[in-house]
Amino acid sequence: MSDACGCGSDEKTTAEGEEEREPEKLWEVDELRAAAVAGVLLLAALIIGWSGGSDTVVTVLEALALVVGAWTFVPSTLRRLAKGKIGVGTLMTIAAVGAVILGEVGEAAMLAFLYSISEGLEEYSLARTRRGLRALLNLVPDEATVLRDGTEQTIAPGELRVGDTMVVKPGERIATDGVIRSGRTALDVSAITGESVPVEAQPGSEVFAGSINGTGALEVEVTTTAEDNSLARIVKIVEAEQARKGASQRLADKIAKPLVPGIMAAAAVIALVGSLLGDPSTWIERALVVLVAASPCALAISVPVTVVAAVGAASKLGVLVKGGAALEALGAVRMVALDKTGTLTRNQPTVVDIATTGDHSPAQVLAVAAALEARSEHPLARAILAAAESDVQPATDVEAVTGAGLTGRIGVRPVRLGRPGWIEPGELTGRVEQMQHAGATAVLIEDEGRVIGAIAVRDELRPEAAEVIDRLHASGLTVAMLTGDNTRTAKALAAQAGIDVVHADLRPEDKARIIGELRAQRVTAMVGDGVNDAPALATADLGIAMGAMGTDVAIETADVALMGEDLRHLPQALDHARRSRHIMLQNVGLSLAVIVGLMPLALLGILGLAAVVAVHEVAEIVIIGNGVRAGRTKPLPPAPAPAPQAEPQPAGAVA
């Protein structure tokens, strides 16, 4: 919370300065447990009072409720006051003290009870945003193999030095950033760049910590230490941005910053001037009534009750909103930045085009490719096998040529499959370029030394992507796409989705930088699903994770998670949050109107303490009822039928 905020507890730490375990359930939040106890005590006092029981017992129960409720905010308020910081908590404390002086212990206890609920709900939401960086660090292997003095040694990643030569075996994760000096491979860099298809790497190629090596053994020259590699930079960005968000003011505190000192000054002036011009006891009492009249009890509960209703309703829609700050930000979003892979696309590469030479048919080209890929786990293999006939006969003597492709035999015929450059496209050069310009990955197929065709594989858009972009545009939102994929792929898919603003070839820190630039212009939300999106999710005014397929760190770093795979939940969540934010503002406006209306009436002695308390209670009921409206939602219509897998196009067609 911000320094300007006078409420809320300080960050909890142990005596050694280590953070306590974050609460994972509502009942683990100290403030909410205190509020529950205070509520039970108040209810008991109310029942005893209605049944004609002892006034002393009622007063004792109310006093205990006051002490329990006040424990959640009075100590922290006093610590902040010692530092010259005031806020809602300051006024709540003064109002409670004033109510006690005037003999209204029950009113003071009610103030403390409602405010402790407000504090507990916010603490819970903030705790949810402070967890989740462990998933990033888990991408770094526990050990690294390094060549020193001509021998291989196993050391901890933290012991790697710039200039060391790492040995990375097939299937291993890379411990830190470096440059390949020996070996070829296909790297799974989805955790770092979001690239959906493994990237071919060879001597001179840069590699990043957390990448997974394919089938080739590598020797990598270390260029950064473990403390400053790609993943470490991601962690630093996330930590810094989460700290910034944790210090942001709540809506009620933004209002309270000028309101609280004004009310305190007004009460002091009333007591002082009134005492000089009339009966001191009368005017001191009126000053205290003014303080109670100005108590922001309704203001304190106005936002949390709306948040609870709105967040609960959102969860039924498959949208996880992490508290009031996230809900407010979601309702204020004017720019939406979308990651491509896994967010706009299905993360399921498919065959979209087949080019052939001579009299070869697309089916023949697919049959040869599928025979070679039958034993492969490569993502392209799954796409090719899915497009081929079901009765694929695997090739024999299949060998993987690291960073290039596959060789083998069908019967006695030698066959090959691989990237352009390893296999020369010949007469298919133009078609291969067309495939690449269309945003696809092209592989060439060779039979007995002759190129017989090329296959284009592409990760297709979600079927609802274009509809979602249209809805976002219709709501007046600006939409941009951020991706680690190459520019050709990005622009091709963006055009299909209806997105005009495209940023491609981005690393995580690049995404975070661009989000920072967008934030300077308008309230910006980032939508992503992977570890590579974590810095951008944290940097944005609001991070939205695709939860069902996202990594833990994306979900934990984000403020909102779409728990299903239907992207239509995004505009639905934005509309829901916008309506909920309007209800919040209505409640805040009503709360302020009550305060403004009661203060002069209390000052002039028109309303006494009992009447002021009654008006406050009625206002609280109205505000709670209005806030509950945020729980009304409309379910999405049935999801559109998934688009059929792209049919391979005949030679001469462009996907």
List active site positions.
339
User: DSSP per residue over 249-284, as a string?
Assistant: PPHHHHHHHHHHHHHHHHHHHHHHHHHHHS-HHHHH
Is residue 174 helix, strand or coil?
A: coil
Q: Interhelix angle for 280-293 vs 251-277, to 10°? A: 170
Bridge partners (DSSP) of residue 524 are 335
Q: How far is CA 164 from CA 55, 143, 148, 176, 231, in A?
A: 80, 14, 8, 11, 19
Which among 308, 307, 319 is positioned nearest to 559, based on CA atoms? 319
DSSP, collapsed to helix, strand or coil, labels residue 504 as coil
Query: How many Cα atoms occupy the beta-carbon half-sphere of 293 within 13 Å?
Result: 29
Enter the tokens of residue 482: 């951020």
Task: Read off the tokens for 319.
Answer: 């949208």
Six-digit token string for 636 = 């999405």
The residue among 208, 168, 169, 171 whose CA lies nearest residue 192 is 208
Gap between the Cα atoms of 526 and 543, Å rounded: 5
Token pair recorded at residue 330: 């979601």
CB burial of 278-300 (b: ≥16 within 10 Å; e: otherwise) equals: eeeeebbbbbbbbbbbbbbbbbb
CA 391 and chain centroid, separation: 44
Coil vs helix vs strand at 585:
helix
3-state SS, residue 637: coil
Question: Can you tell me whether residue 456 is helix, strand or coil?
Answer: strand
Asked if 493 and 340 touch (Cβ cutoff 8 Å), the reply is yes
**Rg of the Cα trace of the chain?**
32
Q: How many CB atoms lie within 10 A of CB 436?
A: 17
